[in-house]
């Protein structure tokens, strides 16, 4: 049995996510210092699994609570949730150990609630192999509980895509993906990289493009020699393909308008043989430094970085670029499988994004030279952020024609949920 430290650290991480709005991966990283490898893995699994299955856990905890779950104080509810996750999803931890550790933690943090925690978890433990099926009034409510996605999101996709399609999509969102590596083909071939990594014991296989690999788990990436030598970078296949379809070529002037952390700039530079001019811009100086560091590591001397707010027109860029990449800020609802906490965004919280996206797209379009290409992309599958933004843009910019539009789906393409629209500016 693992040390109890992992569960206590998991509780701290959940509190940081809930109270401070910290991203899940950052919270896990902060609390994992000092843990051994096994406890780090357990802490990660508990936090990620609890966030990924919150509605499901709450549904079954509620069966054994005498009051509404909304009336349980947050810290006690966090203890119940991480314990319920272990009871219902992790077979290797004895139920008695889960319950005893939960009670011990509760006595130290919320002593008055220890008896409640003990009673609820013992009842759940006794019933875990014969839980009643989820009872819901509508199909949307059933999917919302089963896959722990907001009701509005389930209703949204059922209306657009149908029930069966939506269920497969939600299931994929609850399946943690591997890590996709894009080969720096200026330094090595995908086959040689595959050989090097597998010979060192990494579980790697070919992915969805001619130059990508997928690895189940990656240790500290800075400890991987091939990464340090610039032989690959981390990027989902959908993001890579968006740039590839825009066809960057040698001698092109390329602008990546919202570039950090740099994947699309790297792809454009590699695909153009490091023989183009790539200007990578971002509003965050800290994140822009990641682009510069990555370009140096990969040996991509054609990339230059500049601090720039995509919402503000730069008159020096007007009609200056053969290819402009506008990977705009978005709700991120296409990357739920990697960032499970994103799913809990409200409909209202993303309502203002389309206006921002259209503003950036309009600015980006003015930087495209006559005959040049404009790539609009997001990591979401919400049509208000995708098709609707593009259609509104085209309605007032008849000098652009659509060359390709595509949505990538996790359960179909085994990629992030992603949208691209490639447009050509008339001469």
Shared domain check, 219 and 307: no
**Rounded to whole angstroms, how far apart are CA atoms 332 and 382?**
9
Q: Is residue 12 part of a domain?
A: yes
Question: What pLDDT score was predicted for residue 2?
Answer: 45
54: domain range? 5-127
Q: Which long-range contacts (CB under 8 A, 24 or more apart) does 246-251 make?
A: 246/323, 246/325, 246/373, 246/375, 246/422, 247/323, 247/373, 248/272, 248/276, 248/323, 249/276, 250/275, 250/276, 251/275, 251/276
Question: What pLDDT score was predicted for residue 34?
Answer: 86
Shared domain check, 300 and 229: no
- Enumerate the β-bridge partners of residue 321: 368
Q: Is residue 133 part of a domain?
A: no
Shared domain check, 94 and 78: yes
Provide the CATH number for the domain around residue 20: 1.10.940.10
Name the band, by pLDDT with cuts 50, 70 and 90, for residue 1.
very low
Residue 219 has pLDDT above 80, yes or no: no
The stretch 99-128 carries a mean pLDDT of 96
Shared domain check, 191 and 161: no
**Rounded to whole angstroms, how far apart are CA atoms 305 and 298?**
15
Provide the CATH number for the domain around residue 218: 3.30.70.1170
Shared domain check, 265 and 222: no
The answer to whether 124 and 117 are in contact (CB under 8 A) is no
What pLDDT digit, counting tens, does each position of 371-415 carry? 999 999 999 999 999 999 999 999 999 999 999 999 999 999 999
Shared domain check, 287 and 168: no
Cβ count within 10 A of residue 110: 16
What pLDDT digit, counting tens, does each position of 123-132 carry? 999 999 999 9
Name the band, by pLDDT with cuts 50, 70 and 90, for residue 5.
confident
* 3-class SS of residue 280: strand
Question: What pLDDT score was predicted for residue 398?
Answer: 96
pTM of the model: 0.94
The answer to whether 240 and 263 are in contact (CB under 8 A) is yes
Angstrom distances, CA of residue 31 to CA of 24, 263, 305: 11, 28, 33
Shared domain check, 274 and 406: yes
Q: Is residue 132 part of a domain?
A: no
Shared domain check, 168 and 41: no
**Rounded to whole angstroms, how far apart are CA atoms 88 and 65?**
17
Residue 218 has pLDDT above 90, yes or no: no
Shared domain check, 197 and 304: no
Q: Kindly tell me the number of DSSP H helices and DSSP E strands found in the chain.
A: 18, 11
Provide the CATH number for the domain around residue 305: 3.40.50.150
φ, ψ for residue 396, nearest 5 deg: -120, 10
Percent of the chain whose predicted confidence (pLDDT) is above 70:
99
Shared domain check, 420 and 287: yes
Q: Is residue 134 part of a domain?
A: no
Q: Is residue 203 part of a domain?
A: yes
Q: Angle, nearest 10°, between helix axes 5-20 and 24-31?
A: 140
Cβ count within 10 A of residue 89: 17
Q: Is residue 228 part of a domain?
A: yes
Task: Compute the chain's Rg from CA coordinates.
Answer: 24
**Rounded to whole angstroms, how far apart are CA atoms 176 and 70?**
28
* 3-class SS of residue 311: coil
Shared domain check, 183 and 76: no
Closest CA to 85 of 119, 115, 116, 128: 128
Name the band, by pLDDT with cuts 50, 70 and 90, for residue 185.
very high
- Please give the tally of structural domains in the chain: 4
The answer to whether 117 and 106 are in contact (CB under 8 A) is yes
Residue 4 has pLDDT above 60, yes or no: no
**Rounded to whole angstroms, how far apart are CA atoms 311 and 315?**
13
Shared domain check, 396 and 284: yes
The stretch 43-55 carries a mean pLDDT of 97
The stretch 5-9 carries a mean pLDDT of 91
| Pair type for strands 368-378 and 277-282 | unpaired
């Amino acid at each position: 049995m693992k040390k109890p430290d992992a569960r206590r650290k998991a509780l701290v991480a959940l509190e940081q996510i809930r109270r401070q709005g910290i991203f899940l991966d950052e919270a896990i990283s902060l609390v994992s210092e000092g843990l051994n490898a096994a406890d780090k893995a357990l802490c990660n699994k508990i936090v990620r699994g609890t966030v990924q299955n919150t509605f499901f856990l709450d549904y079954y905890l509620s069966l054994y609570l005498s009051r509404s779950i909304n009336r349980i104080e947050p810290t006690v509810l966090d203890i119940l949730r991480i314990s319920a996750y272990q009871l219902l999803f992790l077979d290797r931890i004895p139920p008695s150990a889960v319950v005893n550790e939960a009670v011990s933690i509760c006595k130290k943090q919320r002593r008055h609630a220890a008896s409640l925690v003990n009673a609820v978890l013992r009842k759940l433990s006794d019933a875990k192999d014969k839980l009643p099926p989820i009872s819901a009034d509508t199909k949307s409510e059933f999917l919302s509980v089963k896959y722990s996605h907001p009701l509005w999101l389930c209703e949204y996709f059922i209306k657009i895509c149908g029930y069966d399609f939506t269920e497969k999509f939600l299931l994929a969102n609850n399946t943690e993906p591997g890590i996709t590596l894009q080969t720096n083909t200026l330094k090595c071939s995908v086959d040689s990289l595959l050989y090097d990594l597998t010979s060192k014991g990494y579980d790697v296989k070919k992915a969805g493009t001619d130059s990508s690999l997928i690895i189940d788990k990656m240790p500290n990436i800075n400890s991987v020699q091939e990464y340090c030598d610039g032989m690959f970078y981390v990027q989902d296949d959908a993001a890579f393909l968006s740039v590839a379809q825009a066809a960057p070529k040698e001698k092109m002037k390329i602008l990546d308008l919202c570039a950090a952390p740099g994947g699309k700039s790297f792809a454009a530079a590699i695909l153009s043989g490091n023989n183009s001019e790539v200007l990578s811009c971002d509003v965050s100086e800290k994140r822009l430094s990641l682009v510069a560091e990555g370009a140096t590591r990969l040996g991509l001397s054609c990339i230059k970085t500049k601090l720039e707010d995509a919402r503000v027109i730069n008159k020096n860029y007007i009609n200056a670029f053969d290819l402009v990449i506008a990977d705009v800020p978005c709700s991120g609802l296409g990357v739920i499988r990697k960032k499970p906490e994103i799913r809990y965004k409200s409909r209202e919280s993303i309502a203002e994004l389309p206006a921002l996206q259209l503003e950036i797209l309009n600015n980006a379009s003015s930087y495209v030279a006559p005959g040049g290409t404009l790539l609009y992309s997001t990591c979401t599958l919400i049509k208000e952020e995708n098709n609707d933004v593009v259609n509104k843009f085209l309605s007032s910019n008849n000098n652009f024609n659509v060359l390709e539009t595509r949505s990538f789906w996790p359960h179909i393409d085994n990629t992030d949920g992603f949208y691209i629209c490639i447009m050509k500016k008339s001469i």
